[in-house]
Structures are given as C-alpha cells and as structure tokens.
C-alpha cells in the first residue's frame, strides 16, 4: 500500500514538472520574436481611380447685384430766365425714363432727357452753331422729329423739330424776341461767331439734360418739390443689371475685362451669366479694403428675379483643358530619382511605376500623360498609405 502511494506521487510530480516546463517554454520569447510582435503592421496603400475629365482653374468670390451706371442729374441755369425757380414735380422712384421723356419740372417748365456726350451748358436758338447743336439734332431725329439736315447749325428745321417735342408733352416752347435775347445774352456771346441766338424758338439750358444712354431708372430723389434746383435733383441708373465684387490682391491679375462669369445663388434659385466690365487698377477703391480689388460684372440677358440687392456667387474661369483628359489626385504624383513625375499603378498584387507628364491642376487634380507604360481611365493609382489591420485579431 505504501509502495503504491509512492509511485502515485512520483508520477504526479513528473506530470506537474512537464506542464510547468511547457508553460514556461510557451512564455519565453526571443528578442527577434518580441521585436516582430511589437512592430506596426505593414501599411496598406490607398488607391483611387484615374478619371477622365475637363479641368479648369477659376476664381470664386461673391458680389452684390444692383442697377448699373449710377449718376446724379442736375440742370444748368438759363440766361433766358429771371426770378426764383423751384422744383415743381419729380418722378417716382423705380420708374423708367426713355429718351425724349420729361424727367421733372422746374417752375412748371419741362426738363427733357436726351442722349448725348456733351452736357447742356448754354441756351440754344436760331443761328447758333456748335457740336451741341448737332447733338440736339441727332437726338431729335432719333425720337422721331425731323430736324432736316443733321449738322452743327440751329436752323428752321431744328426749330420745327423742337416745337414738335414740346407739343408732344403738352408744353409751349420758349419763343424769344431779339430785344429779349439782347437783354439776356451774356457779353462773351457777342464775341464768338455762332454763339448769338436769333429770335424764335429757344431751348433753355435748364430744360434739357444729356445722358450717355437711355432708358434710365430713377433710384433716388436728392431734391424735393418746392426746393430751389441748385444741386443734384434726381439719381438715376441704367436699366442694366451689374454685380459688384471684390477679389484678393493676389488674384486680381487673373481677372480680365471681357472674361465670362457664372453668377449663381442656389438658395435663391438664381443662375445667370455675365462678363467682366470693370477691373480697378489698384486695391482700396469702390469700398474695397487695402487687400482687395474691385471689379464689376455686367449681367447678360434678362436677369432673374431676386438679383438686385442679393449676395451672389461669382465664378470666373481662368484656364481650361477644353477637352477631357486623364487626371489623378495631386497626391498620386511623386518625383522619381531623375526628377521626373510618376505615379504608381496597381497591377495584380503589385504596383507599376508609370512616368508621366503633368499639366493643368485644379480642384485637387492634375492632368497626366503617360510617357512610358500604360495608364488608362479607371486604373487604380496610389495616393498614400494607411496602417494595415493588426494580424491575429
């Protein structure tokens, strides 16, 4: 019995020793094994497809829509009139004025709007000569009143056309006698041939304003009825719509007059096109700060509702590939030992280096042309690496 017990204890000791040895062996690792287990997993490549597309560089900024060409209208005093003058009627803000319309009245007399580059600076009448007479006759002819030969002489044809203009609007023209003209005529007019008006129908200087173009839109009324017409009376704009914007100084050199512009604002459902009409020659003008340059876009066609007064996105294309070309993300291109550009294309379980020539870059992509090897739309190229999944769960 004692002998059997001894044998059992010996066998148990052997088993325990064996198990202990096995556990210890499993727990012991060589330095190489420890280093291998501590090393990070191999990085996994990030692959993206080669895309065939049109690339275009562009400047994107914002601007505010408004009516164009704002200007203030005022009148020149007439030598034919004496006594106090007051504004007796004004147009409605937002109304449109065509060439030949009466924009306001002063002491009950009309003020006509006509197109012309030269401002009204003197009373005009029979016998007078000058480019301002030609300008008047051109305007009268445009609005349907025949002044006869369009020249620099105020003659009977000019008088007849002028009378017809006044009649259309229900006013009597000013008719002066020689005595009245002599009393009102400035002394210098006696010294210049063609500056002395004769008796007949006159156009007083304060009954016409010349503007570069029509129609006009009334945007503000700096004067009020009953006031003396001594300053700006009406603020007008053209009926054209423009968008005023600003760009950083470093981008200003990219913008050229005549450049096409996409105008949009998705939240308002606005989409339009235009062209750059003005680019300031330095920063800090038209309300810009010292780090921005002003530019203006003329809206083409009928502007969509909501443009006036709205903040709008302006996209100005600068250069374009024109046609679709192979493109890859900028991060896919690296420099080879020879200094040339290259990409890595996935081929089976490996990667092939493809030398390329790069072109236009925009929006994070660059055009590429393979110089050696194959590269096609849809091929996968390496743009970077991310840590791989750790082995062994």
b/e burial code for range 72-92 (CB count within 10 A of at least 16 → b): ebebbebbbbeeebebeebbe
Out of 3.20.20.80, 2.40.50.460, 2.40.30.170, 2.30.110.10, which CATH number does the structure's domain 57-67+239-320 have?
2.40.30.170
Higher pLDDT pick, 191 / 309:
309
Residue spans of beta strands (DSSP E) within 9-157: 44-49, 51-53, 56-67, 71-73, 87-89, 96-97, 102-106, 109-115
Q: Given this model, what pLDDT does residue 83 score?
A: 86
What's the mean pLDDT in 370-382?
A: 93
Please state, in angstroms and as integers, the Cα–Cα distance from residue 199 to each residue in 125, 190, 307, 361, 369, following that order: 8, 15, 52, 74, 83
Same CATH fold assignment for domains 44-55+323-386 and 57-67+239-320: no
As a dihedral over the C-alpha atoms of residue 108, residue 113, residue 117, residue 121, rounded to 10 degrees, the angle is -10
pLDDT band for position 107 (cuts 50, 70, 90): very high
225-253, pLDDT tens digit by residue?
999 999 999 999 998 999 999 999 999 99
Neighbours of 97 (CB within 10 A): 22
Please state, in angstroms and as integers, the Cα–Cα distance from residue 22 to each residue in 10, 65, 312, following that order.
Answer: 19, 85, 77
Percent of the chain with pLDDT over 70: 84
Note the pLDDT of residue 391. 39
Domain range 44-55+323-386, its CATH number among 2.40.30.110, 2.40.420.20, 2.60.120.10, 2.60.40.350: 2.40.420.20
The DSSP symbol for 174 reads E
- Is residue 346 within 8 Å of residue 72, measured between CB atoms? no
Q: At residue 35, does pLDDT exceed 60?
A: no
Q: Which range, of 96-100, 227-231, 359-363, 387-391, averages the lowest pLDDT?
A: 387-391
**Distance (Å, whole) CA 242 – CA 331:** 40
Q: Check if the beta carbon of residue 369 is closer than 8 Å to that of residue 356.
A: yes
Domain locations along the chain = 2-38, 44-55+323-386, 57-67+239-320, 75-231
Alpha-carbon distance of 187 to 173, in angstroms, equals 25
pTM as predicted: 0.66
Q: Beta strands 311-320 and 260-265: pairing type?
A: antiparallel
The chain-wide mean pLDDT, for the chain, equals 88
Per-residue pLDDT at 13:
59
Mean pLDDT of 285-308: 95
pLDDT band at 188 (very low <50, low <70, confident <90, very high): very low
Q: How far apart are CA 366 and CA 189, in angstroms?
A: 72
Run of H or E residues at 11:
helix 2-27
Average pLDDT (89-114) is: 98
Q: Measure the CA–CA gap between 15 and 6, rounded to whole angstroms.
A: 14
pLDDT in the model for residue 7: 54
Q: Per-residue confidence at 385, pLDDT binned at 50, 70, 90?
A: confident
> What's the pLDDT at 372?
86
The answer to whether the CB of 249 falls within 8 A of the CB of 293 is: yes
Q: Convert the pLDDT of each residue in 41-68 to its tens digit.
A: 667 899 999 999 999 899 999 999 999 9
**How far is it, in rounded angstroms, from Cα 228 to Cα 149?**
38
């Amino acid at each position: 019995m004692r002998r059997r017990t001894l044998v059992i204890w010996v066998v148990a000791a052997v088993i325990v020793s064996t198990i202990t040895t096995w556990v210890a062996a499993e727990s012991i690792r060589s330095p190489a094994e420890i280093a291998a287990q501590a090393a990070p997993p191999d990085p996994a490549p990030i692959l993206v497809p080669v895309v065939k597309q049109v690339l275009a560089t562009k400047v994107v900024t914002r601007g505010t829509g408004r009516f164009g060409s704002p200007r203030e209208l005022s009148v020149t005093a007439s030598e034919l009139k004496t006594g106090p003058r007051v504004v007796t009627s004004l147009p409605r803000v937002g109304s449109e004025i065509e060439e030949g319309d009466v924009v306001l009245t002063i002491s009950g007399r009309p003020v006509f709007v006509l197109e012309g580059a030269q401002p009204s600076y003197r009373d005009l009448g029979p016998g007078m000569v000058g480019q301002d007479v030609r300008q008047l006759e051109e305007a009268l002819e445009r609005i349907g009143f025949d002044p006869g030969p369009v020249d620099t002489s105020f003659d009977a044809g000019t008088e007849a056309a002028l009378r017809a203009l006044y009649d259309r609007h229900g006013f009597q023209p000013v008719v002066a006698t020689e005595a009245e003209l002599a009393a009102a005529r400035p002394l210098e007019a006696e010294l210049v041939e063609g500056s002395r008006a004769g008796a007949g129908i006159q156009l007083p200087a304060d009954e016409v304003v010349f503007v570069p173009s029509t129609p006009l839109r009334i945007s503000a009324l700096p004067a009020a009825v009953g006031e003396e017409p001594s300053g700006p009376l009406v603020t007008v704009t053209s009926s054209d719509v423009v968008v005023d914007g600003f760009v950083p100084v470093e981008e200003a050199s990219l913008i050229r007059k005549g450049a096409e512009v996409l105008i949009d604002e998705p939240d308002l459902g606005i989409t339009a096109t235009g062209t750059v009409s003005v680019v300031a020659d330095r920063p800090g003008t038209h309300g810009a700060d010292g780090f921005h340059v002003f530019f203006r876009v003329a809206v083409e066609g009928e502007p969509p509702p909501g443009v006036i007064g709205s903040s709008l996105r302006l996209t100005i294309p600068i250069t374009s590939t024109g046609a679709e070309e192979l493109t890859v993300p900028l991060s896919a291109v690296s420099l080879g030992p020879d200094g040339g550009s290259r990409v890595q294309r996935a081929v089976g379980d490996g990667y092939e280096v493809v030398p390329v020539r790069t072109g236009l870059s925009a929006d994070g992509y660059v055009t590429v042309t393979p110089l050696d090897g194959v590269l096609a739309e849809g091929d996968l190229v390496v743009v970077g690496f991310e840590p791989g999944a750790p082995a062994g769960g």
